[in-house]
Each structure stands twice: as structure tokens, then as C-alpha cells.
Chains A and B, each alone.
Chain A
Amino acid sequence: MKFKSLAVAASALMILSGGAVAYDGTKCSAPGDCWEAKPGFPDKIKGTKYDPKHSEKELNKQTQAMQAMEKRNAERVEQFKKSGNWVY
């Protein structure tokens, strides 16, 4: 509720001041979501000169590494529970 009224107040302010209000972190689109683009910057960077153009393959490498470690650790634990000796 508080946020709704904040947002309304903020947009009223923006209309009054011609929209050139810099990002100060206090205008929230939802609780916990108060980011705004800075003056002259886009709301979405995809397709702009700031598009990071991340490779999906690179983005997934960490998850793959984590899953592989979890699997190897689980095998070690299973072996340890059986034998009482840790084999790395």
C-alpha cells in the first residue's frame, strides 16, 4: 500500500518536473524492486549499445561445474559410509 502511494507521488512529481528525475532509489515499481534507468539510459539493454550479448553456453558452465562436484562428493560420501575410509 505504502509503495503504491509512493509510486503515485513519484509519478506526479515526474510530471511536474518534466520527467527529468534522476535515479535515487526511492521510486519502487514493487516491494523490493526500486531500480530505474538513469537519464539517457534505456530500461532494457538488450539490443542497445550496452547489450552484454552473453553466450548461453558460457552462462551455464558454473551450474555444470557445481553439479559435477556434487555428484563426485556424493560418491565419496557413499563410499565413506560403506568403508569408513575417505577416498578422494
Chain B
Amino acid sequence: MRETQHNRWSTVGTALAVSSAIGMMSGMAVANEKLVELQQSNENWVMQGKDFSGTHYSTATQINKKNVKRLRPSWSFSTGVLNGHEGAPLVIDGTMFIHTPFPNNTFAVDLDEPGVIKWEHKPKQDPAARAVACCDVVNRGLAYWPGDDKTPAMIVKSQLDGHVVALNAETGEVHWKVENADISVGQTETAAPFVAKDLVIQGSSGAELGVRGYVTAYDIHTGEMAWRWYATGPDSDIGLQKDFNSDNPHYGQKNLGVSTWEDKAWKIGGGTNWGWYAYDPDLDMFYYGSGNPAPWNETMRPGDNKWTMTIWGRDLETGLAKFGYQKTPHDEWDYAGVNVMMLSEQKDKNGKMRKLLTHPDRNGIVYTLDRETGDLVSANKMDDTANWVKKVDLETGLPIRDPEYGTRMGHRSRDICPSAMGFHNQGFDSYDPKRELFYLGINHLCMDWEPFMLPYRAGQFFVGANVWTYPGPKGDRQNGVGSGQVKAYNAITGDFAWEKMEKFSIWGGTMATAGGLVVYGTLDGFIKARDADNGELLWKFKLPSGAIGHPMTYTHEGTQYVAINYGVGGWPAVGLVFDLNDPSAGLGAVGAFKELARNTQMGGGVMVFALDGKSPYDDLSLGEFSK
């Protein structure tokens, strides 16, 4: 199957000429190849991860270690809404596409004259959707499909109220709009759609309301559902290939979506996937993580609770799983396993070249797996203060738990690391393939946790734990700061090339460039650049508000730009956004980030930087009225 796929691409030209049936198949391959081709140009940033591997690595070198001090704002754009601005803009063919939190407006801006809004799309949504969003009304961004001879290029978006919408990239007109989630049962959408070949893949949200996770693919041409698979339940719902986990049978294989639960608890079992994806066009497989089981009260769901908290390798066309590795069996901490997947090819300790995926999880472990077989290659703590697990046994694949830092009914657990917010959350990080380093934006957060019994009512919250989060041992707990880290990590050796502390959690991810820079935004409202080799801070600029999205870069008319969303929010800023004071409010976040409001307020916009602030408006006549 895979072999056929590979051959098909190399003979696209021939196939086109043969018959209309084959022509249709190769049409899909062409669309895919076009996206790969667009990714390779420094003029584009065509997907949230920049490329299918999710490297967030740009070969552009105009901005580099020597001159980054000259980086200044070139132009800016206010989105007209507040709350958290996650994700980042896309840039394709000289147009920037900008998304917002609820009500999820979309703007297209021509880079030759960024003061003019080329088109906008403003959805009408039921405001009740806001009430079932656990963690601010964020959205992680847009996706792009490059078009073919049947259908023009599309911008694809998700809406908090559960819709997925395909818009004509040139005009902003709705091509199709499907229902992918129902807020009346607690389902929402905050993840960015993911485009590969001619499919739009959309995840799910709502494990804090007992939503059983599901992942769905739609045909870009027609909006028709291609497949839908679940995180828990019978194998026929989960979608397993015949040879599922045959390379690693000890991970578990058949029927575990039911047998690792008591009775029908899997029906409200969580495992939503609201993070990120990666895709390998050669293997034709995509990768993502499923989230936490529901409820947070572990005592109400005995069992390993498969397949929540699982790294998936699935076939793109069928969605069927080739492998699944459960990172956190029977979660007791809400270590929702949805985080970023970054693909690389590196030599392992035996000198063998491996196709890998690397994944910094909420639970404080960075997992590196062979992305064809699912073999566990390494699993290291991203900070040595993680204490729920002693280590991950690479032979058995099992995390060896420390019972002292487990959670249970009738007990308030203290000083658990990481906190439910994770040592790593939704930030999209980066990988420099020359340096073979992953640049991880890390949280340094620990917690106290005490569960309570509660009933399930569809459409209502189903959490069942009180949580108090605070800065970890290396931070300053008394003063509420020192809750962030940035580290450069080698996935084979497990070594850190460098580690730096940050005042607040690094929530929004990182970007790396061949100019030797690692760029990221901070919750207290800075965009910063560090030296990729030693972590030295080389530059920063004070944004209007805190950043919870990742930086992106593109070159236009010969000038390299760096852009980032600002507008603080998401889980860390719920105290500030919703005006909460109880330290355990906001699912335990309020106490940890009470200092945030002294450093930032809400906002919403995009700031674009270039060397010396070079801008289209250096030509003062641009956009001026004339008769």
C-alpha cells in the first residue's frame, strides 16, 4: 500500500494521461506535492507547523545572531477582539491570513499594502458556546489547501461552536460548512484544522465535560466525511489496522478501548485531541496525541483508560491506526497528551538512521518514537523535578509511577510535578535539523490536587478535582514567578545543550532559524530571540499584551519578516481574563499566575518585525488618498 503510494507520486505525470480514474487519484497527490513545494519556499508559511514535519525551522538567514538587535516593528494589525490569541498567521503567495479567538473572525491582508483588509469572514455563533469552553475561547489557527483543477485554493477554519468551514482563499466566500461538534453535549473546537492531500482533519475538545474524543476527516472538494475514529470504546470505533502495534505487542492491541474501563465509563471517557499533527508523505501516515480521560477524579474510572493519552500513527487515507503508545495509563493528573509532534531523521545510539517523531508531553516526559513502527527510542524528563514517574522503562514501555505523587479520593496530594498544566502545554515548538536540537518552551509548574465525586450530565462540566498550581522548585513560589523554562534538547543523547529560566511559563511555542536564532513570545508580553547554540538572550521587544501563540517568519520582496500574535489568555491567564481571585479557580491556574496582571492586560493583534523596521510604508505615498 505504502509502496504503491510512493510510486504513484513519482509517476504523477504518466498517471494523469492514462485515465480519468487514475487522474483523480493523482490529483490528490498533486495537491499534496504542491503543499510540500510551497513549504520549501521562505516566502510562505503554509501551515501552523510550517511544514508537515512540524519543524518550525526556517532557512532564512537575513535576520541572524549578528543583526537581530536591529529588529523593529514593520507594521501591526488589531483583530478587534480580546481574549487569548493562540496559533499564528499563515502567509501564502503574498497574502497573510489572520484568525482570532471567538467568534473566530478571519482576515486576509495583502502584504504589498498591509493596511488594507482584502476580505474578512465573521461567523455568527451561538454565544452559549463560550460557556462550555474549559480554558478561554482560544483557537489555534487556519489551514490552507492549495487547490486543483476542480476546486480553487481554500482557507480552512474551525469555530468554537463546532463547525469546520472551508473558505475560498481568494475571496473569503464559504465553500462548505459542516457540523463537527455539538455544544449541547459539551463539544467545542479550538484546534486548527490540518490539511494533507485533499483531506481536512479536525480534532475535538471537551474532556472537561466528559466528551469522548474523536478525529474526523473531510474531503476538501465536497465537505463529505471520509472517516471518523474515536479514542475509546470498541475497536470498530477506534479504527485499528489489522497489524496494529504488531511491532510492539506489549503496548497492547485488541479490545483495550473497552476492557481497560469499568462498565460503560468509556462513553464519557475523554481522549479529545485539540493539539497538533505531523504528517510523513512517504509513509502516508499522520501523528497526534489523544488527551486526558474524564473525569479528573481517577477513582471514578478504574483501569488504564485506553486509548486516552496515546501517541497515534495513523494511515491518512483510511485513518486506521498502525501504532498507538499510551504514555500515561490511568491518568491521575490531567496530563492531556495532545502536545506537538516534531518529525526528524537522526542516527540512533547504534548509528542506525531512524525516522522519528519527538513529542514533549504534559506529563514532563519528552517521547521519541520510530514513526514507522512506534518503537520507543527515548523518553526523558524535560526537567528532573518531574516526580509522578521515576522513569519510563524503554523495554516494557511503562512509566514507573511513584505512588507518593499519585492522586486518589479522600486524599489531598501535594507538591506533584508537573501540574495539570504540564511541564509543556499547547505551544508549537521547533527543531533545527542542522544542530539536531529541539527548542522546548516549558512550564515549570507543580500542584496540590484533591478529587471529589460528581455526576455526569451531558453539557455540564465533569472535572471532579480541586487543584492548586504554583511555580516549581526551581522558581520563586512565594512571589509567583519563575514558572517558565526554555531548553535545547537532543532526543538521542537526552542531553540539554542549554537551559534558561523564564519569569512565566513559555506557553506559545518556539521558532528556529538558520540565522542561529530561537524566537518565542512570553506571557508577560515580550517577543524574544536567543542564540540557538548557547541560549544567550540577544533581543526582545515589549508587545502590547502577552503572547500564547508561536512566532512565524516569511520573506516578501526580499525582506525577511517575523510575525507573532499578541493577546494574553488561554489557561494561564483565565484569572486576568475572567476576573477570578480564588487560587484554585480556573482549574487551579489563578493562584499560579496572579502576578500576570501586573505585567500585561488583554489585547488582540499581530505585530510584524523586520530589520530596522523596514516596511511597505517606507514609501509614504502607499495607500494615500489621491484624485
Choose among A2, A3, A54 the residue that contacts B264 (Cβ–Cβ < 8 A): A54
B371-386 residues with Cβ-Cβ distance < 8 A to A are none
**Which B residues are CB-close (under 8 A) to A33?**
252, 256, 259-260, 303-304
Q: How many residues of B contact A (CB 8 A)?
A: 59
Cβ contacts under 8 Å, A30 to chain B: 252
Contact A73 B225 (CB under 8 A): yes
Among residues of A, the one whose C-beta sits closest to the C-beta of B237 is A63
B390's nearest neighbour on chain A, judged by CB, is A24
Roughly how many angstroms separate A74 CA and B251 CA in the complex, as a whole number? 36
Query: Shortest Cβ distance from B134 into chain A, in angstroms?
Result: 16
Contacting pair A31 B304 (CB below 8 A): no
Contact with B along A46-88 (1 / 0, CB 8 A): 1000101111101111110110111011101100110000101
- How far is A28 from B329 in the complex, measured between Cα atoms in Å? 12
A58: contacting residue among B228, B400, B458, CB under 8 A? B458
Interface status of B500 (Cβ within 8 A of chain A): no
A50 touching B401 in the complex, CB below 8 Å, given contacts A62-B212, A63-B267, A86-B177: no
Contact residues in B for A3 (Cβ distance below 8 Å): 250
A41 to B174, CA, bound (A): 54
Report if B531 contacts A (CB, 8 A).
no
| A20–chain B nearest beta-carbon distance, Å | 11
B398 close to A (CB within 8 Å): yes
Contact A23/B262 with A32-B326, A35-B330 known, Cβ cut-off 8 Å: no
Docked Cα-Cα span, A9 to B408, in Å, equals 27
Q: Which residues of A contact B329 (CB under 8 A)?
A: 25, 34-35
Residues of A contacting B260 with CB < 8 Å? 32-33, 35
Tell me the bound Cα distance from A72 to B179 in angstroms. Answer: 8
Given A41-B408, A44-B262, A58-B457; A70-B302 close (CB under 8 Å): no
Map CB proximity to A onto B394-415 as digits: 1 under 8 Å, 0 otherwise. 0010111111001011000000
- Is B541's CB within 8 Å of the partner chain A? no
Q: Mark B458-479, 1 if CB is under 8 A from A, else 0.
A: 1000000000000000000000
Interface size range of chain A in the complex: 35 or more
Contacting residues, chain B, for A56 (C-beta < 8 A): 264
**In the complex, which residues of chain B have a beta carbon less than 8 angstroms from the beta carbon of A80?**
176, 222-223
Interchain CB contact under 8 A, A61 and B398: no
Q: Is the CB of A73 within 8 A of B458?
A: no
Which of B179, B224, B262, B456 interacts with A69 by CB under 8 Å? B179
How far is A26 from B392 in the complex, measured between Cα atoms in Å?
10
Within 8 A of B (CB), among A1-41: 2-3, 6, 22-26, 28, 30-35, 37-38, 41
Residues of A within 8 A of B252 (CB): 30-33
Within the complex, which residue of A2, A62, A69 is in contact with B268, where a contact is CB–CB below 8 Å?
Answer: A62
Asked if B400 contacts A86 (CB within 8 A), the reply is: no
State whether B458 touches A38 (Cβ < 8 A).
Answer: no
Where chain B touches its partner, the secondary structure class is loop
Give Cα distance in the complex from A28 to B182, angstroms. 38
B598 to chain A, nearest CB (A): 41
- The answer to whether A45 and B262 touch (CB under 8 A), given A32-B251, A33-B304, A62-B268, is yes
Known: A38-B406, A50-B453, A69-B179. A86 touches B458 (CB 8 A): no
Chain B 330-354 per-residue mask, 1 if CB under 8 angstroms from chain A, else 0? 1000000000000000000000000
Q: Choose from B180, B223, B399 the contact partner of A77 (Cβ within 8 Å).
A: B223
Distance in Å: Cβ of A48 to nearest Cβ of chain B:
10
Closest to A23 in B: B403
A35's contact among B264, B302, B458, by CB below 8 Å, is which? B302
Chain A residue contacts of B303, Cβ below 8 A: 33, 35
* Contact (Cβ within 8 A) B268 A54: yes
**Cα distance A23–B112 when bound, in Å?**
62
> Interface 1/0s, chain B 220-236, versus A by CB < 8 A?
00111100100000000
If the complex has contacts A34-B329, A35-B260, are A6 and B396 also in contact, measured as CB distance less than 8 A?
yes
Binding site for A on B (CB under 8 A): 174-182, 184-185, 187, 211-212, 214, 222-225, 228, 249-253, 256, 259-260, 262-265, 267-268, 299-300, 302-304, 306, 326, 329-330, 393, 396, 398-403, 406, 408-409, 453, 455-458
Q: A62-B267, A77-B224, A77-B225 given. 19 additional CB < 8 A pairs? A: A25-B398, A32-B260, A33-B260, A33-B304, A35-B329, A38-B408, A41-B408, A44-B302, A45-B302, A54-B455, A55-B455, A58-B456, A59-B264, A59-B456, A73-B179, A73-B225, A76-B176, A86-B174, A88-B177
Interface of A with B (CB < 8 Å)?
2-3, 6, 22-26, 28, 30-35, 37-38, 41, 43-46, 50, 52-56, 58-63, 65-66, 68-70, 72-74, 76-77, 80-81, 86, 88
- Ordered by A's residue number, 26 sampled pairs between the chains whose C-beta atoms are within 8 Å are A23-B403, A23-B406, A24-B403, A26-B400, A30-B252, A31-B252, A32-B256, A32-B326, A33-B259, A45-B302, A46-B262, A50-B409, A53-B455, A54-B455, A59-B264, A62-B212, A65-B182, A66-B182, A69-B179, A69-B180, A72-B179, A73-B223, A76-B223, A77-B223, A86-B175, A86-B177
